[in-house]
């Protein structure tokens, strides 16, 4: 078996630090390390050889700073190509076929907008220049690393995909001791976004030691199906009295974390700053006998959307997801005027108000006639992402506007929409795939909107197939079976509800609906909309595009979540907690699932009205109090982690887990997705129950 | 094959009039015809022989007036037994094995309470006396005939079942030229109630000619599975100038209606007043080659409840049925006091108000401690049936109170409730079966209320089996999976919803729920109740026990019926018509089904928002107008027929019928229950779609 066939099946070991090793060989402080690929290739090859001799199975080229922008600090901007190609040559020479070569691509050293001055296109051009050199030199991987800004990572991954399309990409984010990147991105969000963008391996490097990365690896492992890599520093750097930096963790201590990182989900391990060939030798020995867990994350087949900092997974406990519809100029004069004039204060305001009211996603539509809609869409995305931290739903019939929004959007948005109308899928799907977005498909074909649920289902099948043909996985496809006006198409109001169930049951995808159209022309529209929303959610609707500022609609969502047992102890409904947060952190959701396993088990089922169960009642009250405490504890940590996920995935879950499941590790989450044989609430068809079969 | 094996498989012909034939043989006007069984058996036998010679396959004994009460007019009250036994002997002698013998049992000649002075028990005793004689004489049938009062018919059928349990019962009601009995009972209600009481053959005789009975037979045929018999007079009687009565229809004209009656659904035909052996000879010849339609009525496997005058079938178009819950003293001081004092004006008032608000069934609970609850229940039933014409739901934990209510209730009520608690099914089910009631089973077993949907389903299976073991058919069983308090048993609020679906899908029975309990202890209860009701109906709930005076709940029901396409053109929702009637006549429902077949067919599906469908839109608008006209026309006739049924039955229907189906005959109704292959809205599982699979 060739070494690169082992990816994901065996634990592979990277090398360690390069710069300090070159300094030890005479590289002056302040000199350009990458230039040695051309000037002192013997030294570079020698360092590589030390790591290969120590057992490294993948060695990184000495090209970390070889983008033109970084080389410009040394007046070497025009040497990007030569240095990069020479770096790969040095590594190949040292590897002698005993190690794979990963072409290193580091940060630009300047922040990308909106954090800094560099435009996204400028960043992209920098990475593209180095990627073209790698495309020629052909390392086994390009490793994009030591970058903390998710937007900069996006630019790098896109540039590699475009300019070195046949070379596998390892994308590594750098996080703080807090567990997040300094820009706020958490491990799940990094995993979700980078995987959607097409990275082949995702992970972490630098900044902190292995002790602080075990949990980050475990969190990322929940959401990705690709291998995870991790290259810690030799501990947190200490400044010594003489002004130099010292890394406190010796080889033995460092290597002791190897098995923990692998157990948490990593299948590629290595070292970053402060590590030496001895660290790597010990590390290789520590993990030599281990296998990667090899499990795709329990949420890796679940629809997830993300802002820059947070992820929202469409697990049962978080449904229905409210998508705020108010950033849309249709029928709104002031908003239309503002967008036409390029004034986005009202857009920002609508974003904040909707999120405060409970919207978990915001629809963004800037469709004003005769404007530069792509520019307006990009600007709206930037303004909204500067104001709130929820994922976006980019809404336009204009494919160019969608592309501009996708490029501007940091995170994983939903593209609204495509259909089977002439040319629409072909225009939208490749762009959505390129930027790693989920897609919303409308059940419209060449002939328009069909009459029946059956025809809607047939179109939905074709929509899913079309998305899959462009490489968008099925779980990233959302189907909108279109709510029509009950006043004019009364039978179809029911057909749409049926279609929700059939599409959910057969295709296993999430569904969305803009419900307000259903009441057009009828009296008491808000009331009718709330009833129809209730029916749709009962039939399995996953998300509603609606106005979160309408109290009646939000009250309805809260009541639905109460009755569907997705609002544990009615906390949100009772408004016992401050903000009306309608989605759960993964810890909350795990506690809910575990608590439900208890409450619903035959022994503990308490029914006050029924005879002979009062003792059980006392038990369940105690359980309730415990669960509430647990949820509050999870709340406290949620500010730090900020991930909104829940325990069961649509593909396999549904049955609450049994008691005693640990609540904060990846294996626990995996356990939550397997049916618990002794759970009290088994359905006749536990497998079909995955999406709740409507409930 | 023996003659009586042909019942229901061949058309059988009865004899004709007896009294006029005896008069022709010398019976003096004003004399007791039945006495001739003892005094002139030769003449009686001779008349029977004429009919047998004419081709009659069933001859009726000369015992029509031989109940003690009727014989008392001639001072012969003590001759009931002798005359009845002799009547059977005469008929057997004449039949010589070539005809079956039906023992005739006529009306008492005095009205039963509440219409007259005779108590139900007194009427029962009269019929029981004659039934005991028949039990000894053993005719092939007892034929209860020429009775217009459904309550008197109930007494007669119960007496025959009790005192001649092995003899088959033919029960015939007498209707006016209006198509109803003079007491208001319509043909469907007569069929529904008499079949539930256990009559083996049901039909009509006397009062009108065959021309006016074809439609009545067709209407009854919709709802019964037993054979239908019909014995018209020889036309409507004319008073001649000399003061005698003349029947205008000659043998040829009379016999010409035979095939029409058989085509309408009758399988036993004969003559009543004014018919002669020649009428019967012609009739036999006219139907000799015909087969009975042999089809059980399309609504015969559908839950139906009835007042004295009207029937309510639980077909999809009529769901959810609102059961008014307000006649219940729990927590109501004034109502408690009234019931304790035997004052029922408040009960009457609650009945009227609830029906005016849209209740289609009324729950009757008089559970006040320390009262004679059976007496109170019977009195409440009488008072309510005197005030409104909707079916009742008799609600008590006291089996004696249920029995008293059942005896007092004219029509087909629902018994609320039985369960698997110790002794409860054994106490309730035999009584319910005896009085022909439907039964509501609570999912409670020996251990109380279970926690999970699965356990509720398992109990529901046992409830259905228990009812069937007592001879109550499955479609007369309603299951209540019990809504618990979401504040205390949050997971179970969802389990109850799941149970509705599972019980409906697996057992094919109707479900009921008292929803208000779900919100106990939570803020904004009416809002929560409406949301939960919406979820339950979406999951397939058939009926809700609720407060129809709560506008929000009734608005919710109306909105649900709109979105489920059960309120054609939103007529009720839009309040375009006066009373907010929430159930349909059979004609309305047929028009809805036919109209829907049009509107939902792919060609006519109009979607204004979609391209290329504006022409189709015009079509569907025209269809809508036509359907509205049709519905209004049906409205006009509904005062006359008053039957509340709809087109599709839970057992087989679901797919709308195609266009062009005639809308007012029994075959049309049968057609409506078969899937239309070209209908526009086929499901992936048309069979499973019968109950709408929740929709
Ligand atoms: Zn580092
Ligand atoms: Zn007659
Ligand atoms: Zn007669």
SS3 content of chain A, % helix, strand, coil (to 5): 45, 15, 40
Average pLDDT over residues B36-49: 98
**Residue from the list A451, A564, A601 with its beta carbon closest to the beta carbon of B494:** A564
Q: How far apart are CA B550 and CA B519, in angstroms?
A: 15
On whether residue A293 sits in a domain, the answer given is: no
* Segment A391-442, tens digit of pLDDT: 999 999 999 999 999 999 999 999 999 999 999 999 999 999 999 999 999 9
Cβ–Cβ gap A531/B556 under 8 Å: yes
On whether residue B435 sits in a domain, the answer given is: yes
In this structure, the answer to whether residues B336 and B472 fall within a common structural domain is: yes
**What tokens were used for B352?**
């009227």
Cβ–Cβ gap B523/A574 under 8 Å: yes
What pLDDT, on a 0 to 100 scale, did the predictor assign at position A625?
34
Residues whose Cβ atom is located within 5 A of ion ligand 1 = A 206, 233, 272-273
**Residue from the list B501, B565, B570 with its beta carbon closest to the beta carbon of A522:** B570
What pLDDT, on a 0 to 100 scale, did the predictor assign at position A586?
53
On whether residue B281 sits in a domain, the answer given is: yes
Q: How far apart are CA A664 and CA A264, in angstroms?
A: 11
**What tokens were used for A9?**
């099946």
- Report how far ligand 3's centroid is from the alpha carbon of B273 (Å): 6
Query: A491 and chain B: CB distance < 8 Å anywhere?
Result: yes
Contact criterion met (CB below 8 Å) for A342 and A376? yes
On whether residue A575 sits in a domain, the answer given is: no
Q: How far apart are CA B681 and CA A451, in angstroms?
A: 8
What pLDDT, on a 0 to 100 scale, did the predictor assign at position B436?
98
Q: Is the predicted pLDDT of residue B573 greater than 90, yes or no?
A: no
Neighbours of A640 (CB within 10 A): 12
Q: Which residues of B touch A601 (CB under 8 A)?
A: 451
Question: The domain that contains B263 carries what CATH number?
Answer: 3.20.20.330
Give the C-alpha distances (Å, rounded to integers) separating A181 from A174, A311, A584, B53: 6, 14, 21, 105
Q: Which residues of A touch B523 (CB under 8 A)?
A: 574
Distance between first and last Cα of chain A: 48
CA A76-A80-A86 angle, to 5 degrees, is 110
Q: Is the predicted pLDDT of residue A160 greater than 90, yes or no?
A: yes
Q: Is the predicted pLDDT of residue B277 greater than 90, yes or no?
A: yes
In this structure, the answer to whether residues B252 and B331 fall within a common structural domain is: no
In this structure, the answer to whether residues B562 and B634 fall within a common structural domain is: no
Label residue B566 by pLDDT band (50, 70, 90).
confident
In this structure, the answer to whether residues A319 and A179 fall within a common structural domain is: no
Q: Which residues of A touch B494 (CB under 8 A)?
A: 563-565, 695
* Segment A508-533, tens digit of pLDDT: 999 999 999 999 989 889 999 999 99
What pLDDT, on a 0 to 100 scale, did the predictor assign at position A582?
60
Q: Is the predicted pLDDT of residue A671 greater than 50, yes or no?
A: no
Three-class SS of residue A324? strand
Three-class SS of residue B235? coil
**What tokens were used for A483?**
């709510």
In this structure, the answer to whether residues A436 and A486 fall within a common structural domain is: yes
Q: Which residues of B touch A498 (CB under 8 A)?
A: 683, 693, 695
Query: A255 and chain B: CB distance < 8 Å anywhere?
Result: no
What pLDDT, on a 0 to 100 scale, did the predictor assign at position A584?
62
On whether residue A137 sits in a domain, the answer given is: yes
Query: B420 and chain A: CB distance < 8 Å anywhere?
Result: no
On whether residue A152 sits in a domain, the answer given is: yes
In this structure, the answer to whether residues A235 and A357 fall within a common structural domain is: no
Cβ–Cβ gap B486/A527 under 8 Å: no
Of A601 and A287, more confident:
A287
Q: How far apart are CA A45 and CA A61, in angstroms?
A: 10
Residue of B nearest to A495 (CA): B681
- Partners of B412 in the β-ladder: B306
Task: Return all residues near B675 (Cβ < 8 A) that are at least 6 apart.
Answer: B654, B655, B682, B686
Q: Is the ipTM of this complex over 0.85?
A: no
Closest by Cα among B243, B390, B272, B374 to B18 = B272
Give the C-alpha distances (Å, rounded to integers) separating B496 from A621, A658, B384, B518, B693: 20, 21, 32, 10, 16
What pLDDT, on a 0 to 100 scale, did the predictor assign at position A587?
53
Cβ–Cβ gap B452/A605 under 8 Å: yes
CA A312-A315-A320 angle, to 5 degrees, is 80
Q: How far apart are CA A438 and CA A427, in angstroms?
A: 15
Contact criterion met (CB below 8 Å) for B567 and B542? no
Neighbours of B148 (CB within 10 A): 22
Q: Are strands B245-246 and B238-239 parallel, antiparallel or unpaired?
A: antiparallel
Q: Is the predicted pLDDT of residue B89 greater than 80, yes or no?
A: yes
In this structure, the answer to whether residues B568 and B609 fall within a common structural domain is: no
Q: How far apart are CA A95 and CA A22, in angstroms?
A: 17
Q: Is the predicted pLDDT of residue A659 greater than 60, yes or no?
A: no
* Segment A359-392, tens digit of pLDDT: 999 999 999 999 999 999 999 999 999 999 999 9
Among A543, A570, A597, the domain boundary falls at A570
Residue of B nearest to A568 (CA): B490
Query: A489 and chain B: CB distance < 8 Å anywhere?
Result: yes
Label residue B582 by pLDDT band (50, 70, 90).
low
Query: A484 and chain B: CB distance < 8 Å anywhere?
Result: yes
* Segment A571-629, tens digit of pLDDT: 778 763 334 556 665 555 555 555 544 333 322 222 233 333 333 333 333 333 333 33
Interface A–B counts its CB contacts (< 8 A) at 221
What pLDDT, on a 0 to 100 scale, did the predictor assign at position B599?
35
Instruction: Characterise B235 by phi-psi region: left (phi > 0), alpha (psi -120 to 50), beta (else).
Output: left
Question: The domain that contains A462 carries what CATH number?
Answer: 3.20.20.20
Cβ–Cβ gap A490/B449 under 8 Å: no
**A397 exposed, middle or buried (CB, 10 Å; 0-12, 13-18, 19+)?**
middle
DSSP B640: H
In this structure, the answer to whether residues A116 and A73 fall within a common structural domain is: yes
**Residue from the list A502, A538, A563 with its beta carbon closest to the beta carbon of B684:** A502
Closest by Cα among B111, B173, B162 to B134 = B162
Cβ–Cβ gap B613/A555 under 8 Å: no
In this structure, the answer to whether residues A271 and A400 fall within a common structural domain is: no
Residue of B nearest to A485 (CA): B607
* Segment B588-634, tens digit of pLDDT: 555 554 554 333 332 222 223 333 333 333 333 333 333 333 333 33
Of B182 and B687, more confident:
B182
Contact criterion met (CB below 8 Å) for A681 and A656? yes
**What tokens were used for A399?**
């494919």
Q: Is the predicted pLDDT of residue B672 greater than 60, yes or no?
A: no
Instruction: Give me Rg for the CA atoms of chain A.
Output: 26
In this structure, the answer to whether residues B534 and B599 fall within a common structural domain is: no
Q: Is the predicted pLDDT of residue A630 greater than 60, yes or no?
A: no
- Torsion, Cα B682 B688 B694 B695, to 10 degrees, reads 20
What pLDDT, on a 0 to 100 scale, did the predictor assign at position A585?
59
In this structure, the answer to whether residues A536 and A673 fall within a common structural domain is: no
Cβ–Cβ gap A682/B454 under 8 Å: yes
Beta strands in A12-99 (DSSP E): 12-13, 58-60
How close is the nearest chain A Cα to the Cα of B317, in Å?
Answer: 13
| Contacting A residues, span 515-544, partner chain B, CB-CB under 8 Å | 518, 522-524, 527-528, 531-532, 534-535, 538-539
Residue of A nearest to B453 (CA): A681
Contact criterion met (CB below 8 Å) for B276 and B164? no
On whether residue B7 sits in a domain, the answer given is: yes
Of A623 and A137, more confident:
A137
On the question of a cis peptide bond just before residue A320, with omega within 30 degrees of 0, the verdict is yes
Q: Is the predicted pLDDT of residue B327 greater than 60, yes or no?
A: yes
CA torsion sign, B635 to B641 to B643 to B648?
Answer: negative
Label residue A678 by pLDDT band (50, 70, 90).
very low
What pLDDT, on a 0 to 100 scale, did the predictor assign at position A583?
63
Q: Is the predicted pLDDT of residue B641 greater than 70, yes or no?
A: no
Contact criterion met (CB below 8 Å) for B325 and B545? yes
**Greatest extent of chain B over all pairs of C-alpha atoms, in Å:** 88
Contact criterion met (CB below 8 Å) for B169 and B212? no
Beta strands in B10-157 (DSSP E): 12-13, 58-60, 100-105, 141-147
What pLDDT, on a 0 to 100 scale, did the predictor assign at position B568?
79
Percent residues over pLDDT 70 in chain B: 82
Residue span of the structural domain in which A510 resides: 306-570
On whether residue B302 sits in a domain, the answer given is: no
What pLDDT, on a 0 to 100 scale, did the predictor assign at position A588?
59
Label residue B256 by pLDDT band (50, 70, 90).
very high
- Report how far ligand 3's centroid is from the alpha carbon of A93 (Å): 115
* Segment B413-462, tens digit of pLDDT: 999 999 999 999 999 999 999 999 999 999 999 999 999 999 999 999 99
Q: How far apart are CA B180 and CA B639, in angstroms?
A: 11
How close is the nearest chain A Cα to the Cα of B182, in Å?
Answer: 40
Cβ–Cβ gap A531/B535 under 8 Å: no
Average pLDDT over residues A328-349: 96
**What tokens were used for A446?**
């060449």
Mutate to test the interface with A, among B539, B562, B598, B655 (most CBs of A within 10 A): B562
**What tokens were used for B127?**
């019929």
CA B436-B440-B444 angle, to 5 degrees, is 140
* Segment A293-303, tens digit of pLDDT: 888 999 999 99
The number of distinct structural domains making up chain B is 3
**What tokens were used for B124?**
């029962």
Q: Which residues of B touch A452 (CB under 8 A)?
A: 600, 602, 605, 680-682
Cβ–Cβ gap B565/A491 under 8 Å: yes
Contact criterion met (CB below 8 Å) for B225 and B195? yes
Q: How many helices (H) and strands (E) does chain A have?
A: 24, 20
Q: How far apart are CA B57 and CA B117, in angstroms?
A: 38
Angle between helices A333-341 and A345-357 (to 10 degrees): 130
CA torsion sign, B324 to B326 to B327 to B328?
Answer: positive
Among all bound ligands, the one having the nearest atom to the CA of B104 is 3
Label residue A9 by pLDDT band (50, 70, 90).
confident
Query: B449 and chain A: CB distance < 8 Å anywhere?
Result: yes
Query: A619 and chain B: CB distance < 8 Å anywhere?
Result: no
**Residue from the list A492, A565, A694 with its beta carbon closest to the beta carbon of B493:** A565
What pLDDT, on a 0 to 100 scale, did the predictor assign at position A578?
36
Query: B565 and chain A: CB distance < 8 Å anywhere?
Result: yes
CA torsion sign, B639 to B644 to B648 to B654?
Answer: positive
Instruction: Give me Rg for the CA atoms of chain B.
Output: 26
Residues whose Cβ atom is located within 5 A of ion ligand 3 = B 272
Q: Which residues of A touch B513 (CB under 8 A)?
A: none
Of A543 and B571, more confident:
A543
Query: A114 and chain B: CB distance < 8 Å anywhere?
Result: no
In this structure, the answer to whether residues A271 and A370 fall within a common structural domain is: no
**B93 exposed, middle or buried (CB, 10 Å; 0-12, 13-18, 19+)?**
middle
Neighbours of A79 (CB within 10 A): 20
**A608 exposed, middle or buried (CB, 10 Å; 0-12, 13-18, 19+)?**
middle
| Contacting A residues, span 666-695, partner chain B, CB-CB under 8 Å | 680-684, 693-695
Q: Is the predicted pLDDT of residue A308 greater than 60, yes or no?
A: yes
Percent residues over pLDDT 90 in chain B: 76
Contact criterion met (CB below 8 Å) for A206 and A145? yes
What pLDDT, on a 0 to 100 scale, did the predictor assign at position B88?
98
Mutate to test the interface with B, among A397, A570, A605, A620 (most CBs of B within 10 A): A605
* Average model confidence (pLDDT) across chain B: 85
Contact criterion met (CB below 8 Å) for B123 and B106? no
Query: A628 and chain B: CB distance < 8 Å anywhere?
Result: no
Average pLDDT over residues B236-246: 87
Query: A442 and chain B: CB distance < 8 Å anywhere?
Result: no
Residue of B nearest to A601 (CA): B451
Q: Which residues of A touch B538 (CB under 8 A)?
A: 497, 534-535, 538-539
């Amino acid at each position: 078996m060739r070494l690169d066939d082992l990816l994901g099946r065996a634990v592979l070991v990277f090398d360690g630090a390069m710069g300090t090793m070159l300094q030890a060989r005479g590289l002056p402080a302040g000199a350009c390390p990458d230039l040695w690929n051309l000037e002192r290739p013997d030294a570079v090859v020698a360092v590589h050889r030390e790591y290969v001799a120590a057992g490294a199975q993948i060695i990184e080229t000495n090209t970390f700073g070889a983008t033109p922008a970084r080389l410009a600090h040394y007046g070497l901007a025009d040497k990007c190509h030569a240095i990069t190609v020479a770096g790969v040559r040095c590594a190949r020479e040292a590897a002698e076929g005993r190690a794979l070569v990963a072409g290193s691509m580091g940060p630009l050293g300047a922040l990308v907008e909106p954090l800094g001055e560099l435009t996204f296109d400028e960043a992209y051009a920098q990475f593209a220049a180095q990627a073209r050199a790698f495309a020629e030199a052909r390392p086994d991987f390009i490793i994009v690393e030591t970058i903390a800004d998710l937007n900069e990572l996006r630019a790098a991954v896109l540039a590699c995909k475009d300019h070195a399309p046949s070379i596998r990409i390892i994308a590594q984010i750098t996080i703080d001791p807090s567990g997040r990147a300094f820009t706020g991105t958490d491990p799940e969000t990094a995993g979700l976004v980078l995987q959607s963008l097409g990275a082949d391996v995702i992970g972490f490097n630098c900044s902190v030691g292995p002790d602080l990365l075990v949990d980050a690896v475990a969190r990322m492992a929940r959401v990705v199906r690709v291998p995870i890599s991790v290259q810690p520093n030799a501990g947190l750097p200490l400044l010594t009295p003489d002004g130099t930096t010292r890394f406190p963790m010796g080889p033995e201590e460092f290597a002791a974390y190897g098995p923990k990182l692998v157990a948490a989900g990593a299948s590629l391990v290595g070292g970053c700053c402060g590590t030496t060939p001895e660290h790597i030798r010990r590390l290789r020995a520590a993990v030599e006998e281990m296998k990667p867990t090899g499990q795709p994350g329990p949420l890796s087949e679940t629809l997830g959307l993300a802002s820059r900092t947070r992820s929202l997974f469409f697990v049962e406990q978080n449904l229905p997801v409210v998508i705020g519809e108010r950033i849309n100029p249709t029928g709104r004069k002031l908003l239309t005027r503002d967008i036409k004039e390029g004034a986005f204060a009202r857009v920002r305001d609508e974003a904040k108000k909707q999120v405060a009211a409970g919207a978990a996603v915001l629809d963004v539509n800037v469709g004003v006639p005769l404007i530069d809609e792509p520019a307006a869409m990009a600007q709206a995305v930037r303004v909204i992402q500067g104001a709130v931290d929820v994922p976006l739903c980019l809404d336009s019939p204009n494919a160019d506007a969608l592309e501009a929004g996708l490029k501007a959007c940091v995170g994983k948005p939903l593209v609204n929409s495509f259909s089977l109308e002439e040319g629409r899928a072909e225009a939208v799907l490749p762009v959505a795939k390129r930027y790693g977005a989920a897609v919303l498909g409308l059940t419209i074909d060449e002939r328009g909107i069909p009459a029946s649920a059956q025809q809607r289902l047939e179109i939905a099948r074709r929509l899913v197939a079309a998305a899959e043909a462009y490489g968008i996985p099925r779980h990233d496809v959302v189907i909108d079976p279109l709510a029509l006006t009950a006043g004019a198409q009364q039978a179809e109001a029911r057909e749409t509800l049926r279609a929700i169930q059939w599409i959910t049951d057969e295709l296993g995808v999430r569904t969305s609906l803009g419900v307000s159209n259903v009441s057009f022309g009828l009296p008491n529209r808000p009331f009718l909309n709330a009833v129809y929303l209730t029916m749709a959610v009962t039939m399995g609707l996953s998300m509603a595009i609606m106005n979160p500022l309408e109290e009646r609609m939000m009250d309805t969502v809260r009541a639905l979540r109460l009755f569907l047992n997705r609002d544990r102890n009615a906390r949100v409904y009772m408004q016992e907690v401050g903000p009306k947060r309608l989605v759960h952190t993964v810890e909350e959701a795990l506690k809910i699932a575990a608590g439900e396993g208890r409450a619903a088990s035959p022994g503990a089922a308490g029914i006050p009205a029924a005879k002979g169960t009062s003792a059980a009642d006392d038990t369940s009250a105690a359980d309730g109090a415990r669960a509430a405490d647990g949820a509050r504890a999870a709340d406290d940590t949620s500010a730090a982690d900020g991930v909104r996920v829940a325990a069961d995935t649509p593909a396999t879950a549904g049955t609450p887990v049994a008691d005693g499941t640990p609540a904060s590790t990846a294996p626990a989450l995996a356990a939550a997705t397997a049916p618990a044989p002794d759970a009290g609430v088994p359905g006749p068809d536990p497998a079909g129950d995955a999406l709740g079969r409507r409930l």
